[in-house]
Amino acid sequence: MKELNIFRQFLAEGVIKENALAQKLRDEAKQPDSKVGASIFNKYAKKIENADKSDYKKIIKAMESELISKHPNTFSGEDDIPGSFLSEGRILKEDTDDITYALHITTVEYDTGEMGYMYEVVDLDTEEEVGSEFGFKPLHFIGSGDENDQQVFRGKDFNSIKTSGMYQDEVIDKEMALYIYNGLLKGNDFYGDKISFDPRELAPI
């Protein structure tokens, strides 16, 4: 029995954003040892593209069942791999209010001429800032992503900013967002921490 390459990739790579899952399924269909199930992978990739995020779990489980049913000598569900990465939020971390939150990290230039970066939590679908609704107000820093970078404040240290075209998104939930928020304010070192990325490394100029 083979462990599906696609599922190993999900677990190793962490967060998979919307529609990237469909592409991963198509990529798996091209793998030599998955050829026997290629039509199934492609069928469910199309379903993912046309589905709501809330249906991803159901669709992936249905795909697993069909693979095992039609090709029992190739695919095995012993480890319930789809269930494991879905339950850990590896595809999308969704909150109960059906918003997918993302930590939006942007390189900016302040009207003082200094360069820095900002953090905000946005709705991944609309890209609107929503973190302020649950305690993550946008954070602004001067520097290049160091623990000692100075935090600055709109109306006091600057009045306006412009983005320099560099940004990163990391899908998160509210709990993780507030954990990161407090860590940034305290100057914590996120290296080897319980989150899978260092917010400061994603914000260099």
Rounded mean pLDDT, 48-58? 80
User: In which band, very low, low, confident or very high, does the pLDDT at 54 lie, cut at 50, 70 and 90?
Assistant: confident
Point out the least confidently predicted range of 82-91, 124-133, 182-191: 82-91
User: In which band, very low, low, confident or very high, does the pLDDT at 161 lie, cut at 50, 70 and 90?
Assistant: very high
Predicted confidence at residue 19, as pLDDT, reads 59
Identify whether the C-beta of residue 25 lies closer than 8 Å to the C-beta of residue 43.
no
Do 105 and 177 belong to one domain? yes
Rounded mean pLDDT, 45-74? 83
Residues 6+ apart with CB under 8 A from 149: 116, 141, 142, 143, 200
Do 161 and 132 belong to one domain? yes
Predicted confidence at residue 89, as pLDDT, reads 40
96 in a domain, yes or no? no
Give the total number of structural domains in the chain: 2
Question: Is the pLDDT higher at 26 or at 113?
Answer: 113
Instruction: Give CA 4 to chain center in angstroms.
Output: 21
Per-residue b or e along 10-20, where b marks 16 or more CB atoms closer than 10 Å to that residue's CB: beeeebbebee
Do 108 and 175 belong to one domain? yes
Please, how many CA atoms are within 13 Å of residue 6, restricted to the half-sphere of its CB?
28
Do 135 and 161 belong to one domain? yes
What residues make up the domain containing 55? 5-87
Instruction: Using the 3D structure, point to which of 37, 62, 87 is the last residue of a domain.
Output: 87
Percent of the chain residues past pLDDT 90, beyond the cut? 19
The answer to whether residue 171 scores a pLDDT higher than 80 is yes
C-alpha distances out from residue 72 to 1, 24, 26, 77, Å: 8, 22, 20, 9
Do 70 and 117 belong to one domain? no
The answer to whether residue 90 scores a pLDDT higher than 90 is no
Do 82 and 127 belong to one domain? no
Identify whether the C-beta of residue 71 lies closer than 8 Å to the C-beta of residue 36.
yes
Do 120 and 168 belong to one domain? yes
